[in-house]
Chain A
Amino acid sequence: MKFLDEYRRLDEVHQMARAIHRLATRPWTLMEVCGGQTHTIVKSGLLDLLPRQVTLVHGPGCPVCVTPLEMIDRAIAIAAQPGVMFCSFGDMLRVPGSSQSLLDAKALGADVRIVYSPLDALQLARTHPDKEVVFFAVGFETTAPANAMTVFQACREDVPNFSVLVSHVLVPPAMEAILSSHSCRVQGFLAAGHVCTVMGFEEYEPLCSRYRVPIVVTGFEPLDLLEGIQMAVAQLEQGRAEVENQYARAVRRGGNRSARDCVQAVFEVTHRIWRGIGEIPSSGLRLREEYRRFDAEKRFGLNLPPVAESMECIAGLVLQGLRTPDECPAFGKRCTPDSPLGAPMVSSEGACVAYFQYGKRKDYGSSPVLSSPAVGH
């Protein structure tokens, strides 16, 4: 497919890897923010193409992974109510709550449906006026415009049996939480390209200057990621700390103005708890007062008991780039995609799944996807 295949060609990928080898003279640690980028990196074997000076740590950019346990439990409790049709992106279904997942609830008889778009959930509400249709509005800035537009439409058409369970989070506050931590090892960021298609990259400029880190807006294909790394390493080697845009074919400085306006009209910034990390101030979105009648949390008003995470899961450390998945004692043994202890072993963007599926394990050696090509210095 155009705009995908050409960024996956082996010759170009190897050529960009050689450019990084020529640049790197000292050890540097970079974080790719988005879980989708982590998957490309591990699946394509890019870790094996990098010089030993460049270490990649994987970031918190997996909405499924950071949705709090309480919110999963709330979703399951709502889905189990009679007359409810609970709609979600497929990724959320297998995430373990405190005692079950949405998929377990479905097996026990709850009407849980996977939708491709929040507009599909709204359409179900229009065609099933006898049901309470609830959409699980999870995601980062990339997904917020779709969810905002859906709520806006529900309001405009006055669809009374539609509501959203909102668990929206924002990327820059999480990056700042990582940078301000005393244990931070990140010296440069590959910012999440698709978040920036919506938001642009102006909000990274204060982060860049306050913490003196290069931030490179980066795409999702192997060549994009290597070019992002190359740009970040070049900055570090030259002592620069700037915002640069590798993903200019999709990202403009101001982002998508009309999408940002719609998000702004429907949502307001709020504190959010990130699973495994804790509360981060001003790091999420909730419905504004004029749209709060579509808030499923308010509509169903369930009181749930407080819950505790699995003691063994180190997802919080993995999500902050402080550990890699294969450093967890449960990894691949007591925690697998079939029987996960934590969300990063479930989501298609989770770092633990990426390591498990594509063989980036200490006992496996290098990735089986690309057979160790000769990368010259």
Chain B
Amino acid sequence: MCLAVPGKIISVQEEELLGLRSGKVDFGGIRRDICLAYTPEAKIGDYVLVHVGFALTVIDEAEAQRVFAALREMEQLEGLEAGTA
């Protein structure tokens, strides 16, 4: 039930959905009207994490890359270890 899916904001309406800030969000080709009341900072092009019709947070692109940088470092270390073994 706590499933939340990332999607990209393609339009924003300030007071459409029952008087709340809302927007159209694209989930890999499927588009839905999503309530953006809890993400007032979200703008067109941002990725938001959506749960039962509500955006809960804007995804931080820099943080999203962090694990891959860590894995690349790890790979270099693995390579070094293999080289010295």
Binding site for B on A (CB under 8 A): 1-4, 6-7, 12, 15-16, 18-19, 34-36, 61-64, 89, 91, 116-120, 122-123, 138-140, 142-143, 145-146, 149, 153, 156-157, 192, 194-195, 197-198, 220, 223, 227, 248-252, 256, 258-259, 262, 347, 349
Contact = CB atoms under 8 A, between A and B. Distances in A.
B3 interface: yes
Interface string B31-67: 0000101111000000101011110110111011011
B18 interface: yes
B1 A117 contact: no
A140 B57 CA distance: 16
Contacts of B60: 248-250
Given A16-B71, A18-B78, A259-B38, A197 B4 contact: yes
Q: Is the interface of A mostly helix, strand, loop or mixed?
A: helix
Interface string B1-17: 11111101000000001
B1 A146 contact: no
Contacts of B8: 2
B34 to A, nearest CB: 9
A103 to B, nearest CB: 17
A12 B63 CA distance: 17
A42 B39 CA distance: 33
B83 interface: no
A249 B59 contact: yes
B4 to A, nearest CB: 5
B57 A146 contact: no
A333 to B, nearest CB: 27
18 contacts: A2-B6, A12-B67, A36-B2, A63-B1, A116-B53, A119-B17, A143-B1, A143-B51, A146-B35, A149-B20, A194-B3, A194-B56, A197-B49, A198-B56, A248-B60, A250-B59, A256-B56, A258-B40
B6 A149 contact: no
Nearest to B59: A249
B85 to A, nearest CB: 12
Contacts of B37: 149, 258
B2 A15 contact: no
Contacts of B35: 117, 119, 146, 149
A16 to B, nearest CB: 7
Contacts of A122: 18
A153 B18 contact: yes
A259 B53 contact: no
A140 B1 contact: yes
Given A1-B28, A61-B2, A143-B1, 18 more contacts: A2-B47, A3-B47, A12-B67, A15-B78, A19-B74, A36-B2, A89-B1, A142-B56, A143-B2, A143-B51, A146-B54, A192-B2, A194-B56, A220-B4, A249-B60, A250-B59, A256-B38, A349-B2
Contacts of B28: 1
